[in-house]
Amino acid sequence: MAEQVGNRGWERVFKWCRSLAGVTVIATVLIALLATADRGGYILVNTIVTGGMTALVAMGLALTLGVLNIPMFAHGEYFMIGSLVAYYVFTPISSFLNTHPDSALALWGPLITVLAAMIVGALAGVVSEVFVFRQLRKRSRENWVMNSFLLTVGLSVVMINAHQLFFGADFKGITHYWSGPPINLMDVFISRDRAYAFILSVVVVGVFWFFMTYTRTGRAIRAVAQDETGALMVGIGLNGILMLTMSLSCVLAAIAGAGLLFMYPSYPSMGLEPLYMAWFVVILAGLGNVLGAVMGAFMVALLKVLTVEYIGSGWDFVVPSALIIVILIFKPSGIFGSEVRGVLDK
């Protein structure tokens, strides 16, 4: 009996390996390893670090698409908010640390910064949902996808220009979060900031996965994503869940923005690149598929790293666009399957 179960387990694994999802995942890993062997360990490091943070941003977008059914084009702006808050919280901490290098803030400073970014990101999400999207929802459910999309465009303009108006258009960056020599892993030098960013993304993805799978609220969110009416029928309060989800989505983007401040300084229109990456991931993985977005993020990160490495920087808008065309022609529901109600036209 145990042997049969064991065999069936292996059968399922092999079946997955032959599916589109399995093939692309395996191909990605193989290509990453090949490129690393070819050019050096930094390829793998860059892919993993970029992938981790892209995963956060992409998961947030997948949430908004799957649960709220909003094609969010202001997602990059929540990333920008995270980085902006991180700048203003960490800069004073940083100057304090210059004169008191042994204080506890050396350890807690970056963490407090991310926490601050989370809080402001959550607030931004709540404000967006309550004052913008809920108002539209109350008035008309008709043509929701297009109308909410237009609202996100408006939100994006407002947030970008509010940044410029109140904080200036200049680049606001920090040199580093963590001081100390880079970590040496198998002849590759990984800066502490990058390692920190990656660990942060792993922790956040893990916590988030646990939340969505095992907690009552997480299951409620998944229920709303699958059938809003059904969720109402079992007693789930829609407004609360929608607000919470929007908030979570923005928090994820804000964490990524804060975590990467050492690499990407904050300025008003910095959100375009994370937005673009997130949308690429989400279309690749399948609209609304939150876990698929994580895997897709690493694939996209690898693509970006390889494009920069083998073709040259500045082409990173061109190559993904070509891939998107292929995906939309052959598998519009994405590699891992879409969970948004109806990908094809009704």
Partner 1 sequence: MNHTTPSANPIDRLLDSLCLTPAGLLSLVALAVLPLVPPFNHEYLIRWLISAAFIASLSIAFDFTAGLINIVNFGYCAIMGVGGYTSAILAERIGLTPWIGMLAGGLVAALLGLIIGMITLRLRGIFAACLAWFFGLAAMGLATKMVWLTRGPLGMRVNRLFDTASNVPYYYLLLGMMVVTYVICKWVTRTRMGVAFKAIGQNMEAARTSGINPVFYRVSNFVLSCALAGWLGGFYAHYYGILTPDIMLTSKTVEVLAVAYIGGRGSLWGGAAVAFPFIFAMELVRSSLSNLPGLNLLLYGLLLILVMIYYPGGFAAFFDATFRKYKNRVMNYFFNGAYESPR
Partner 2 sequence: MLLEVKKLNAGYGFLQILRDVSLTVDNGEYVCLVGPNGAGKSTTLKTIAGLLTPMSGEILFDGESIAGLPGNKVTRKGISFVSEEMNLFVNMTVQENLAMGAYTIKDKKLQKDRLDFVFDLFPRLVERRHQLAGTMSGGERKMLAIGRGLMPNPKLLLVDEPSFGLAPLLTESVFQSLDTLVRQGVTIMLVEQNVTKTLAVTHRGYVLENGRIELSGKSSDLACDAHVRKVFLGV
Question: Does 223 engage in binding with partner 2 (CB under 8 A)?
Answer: yes
128-167: contacts with partner 1 (CB under 8 A): 132, 135-136, 139-140, 143, 145-147, 149-151, 153-158, 160-165
Q: Which is nearer to partner 1, 233 or 318 (CB)?
A: 318
**Segment interacting with partner 1, rule: CB under 8 A, options 107-115, 236-244, 245-253, 264-272:** 264-272
For CA atoms 10, 11, 14, 19, the dihedral sign is negative
Interface size with partner 2, residues (CB under 8 A): 18
Q: In whole angstroms, what is the distance from residue 31 CA to residue 27 CA?
A: 6
Q: In whole angstroms, what is the distance from residue 108 CA to residue 97 CA?
A: 11
Distances (CA, A) of 334 to 61, 123, 246, 282: 15, 32, 23, 8
Question: Does 104 engage in binding with partner 1 (CB under 8 A)?
Answer: no
Q: In whole angstroms, what is the distance from residue 72 CA to residue 323 CA?
A: 21
Question: Does 230 engage in binding with partner 2 (CB under 8 A)?
Answer: yes
Q: From the CB of 10, what's the least distance to partner 1, in Å? A: 37
- Can you state the angle between helices 290-306 and 20-39, rounded to 10 degrees? 30
Q: What are the backbone angles phi and psi of residue 181, rounded to the nearest 5°?
A: -70, 155
269-328: contacts with partner 2 (CB under 8 A): none
Q: From the CB of 281, what's the least distance to partner 1, in Å? A: 12
Q: In whole angstroms, what is the distance from residue 7 CA to residue 103 CA?
A: 57
Question: Does 219 engage in binding with partner 2 (CB under 8 A)?
Answer: yes
**Segment interacting with partner 1, rule: CB under 8 A, options 26-34, 95-103, 211-219, 336-344:** 336-344
Q: In whole angstroms, what is the distance from residue 166 CA to residue 156 CA?
A: 15
Question: Does 343 engage in binding with partner 1 (CB under 8 A)?
Answer: yes
Question: Does 325 engage in binding with partner 1 (CB under 8 A)?
Answer: yes
Question: Does 268 engage in binding with partner 1 (CB under 8 A)?
Answer: yes
Instruction: Give the interface with partner 2 as residue ranges (CB under 8 A).
Output: 216, 219-220, 222-223, 226-227, 229-238, 339
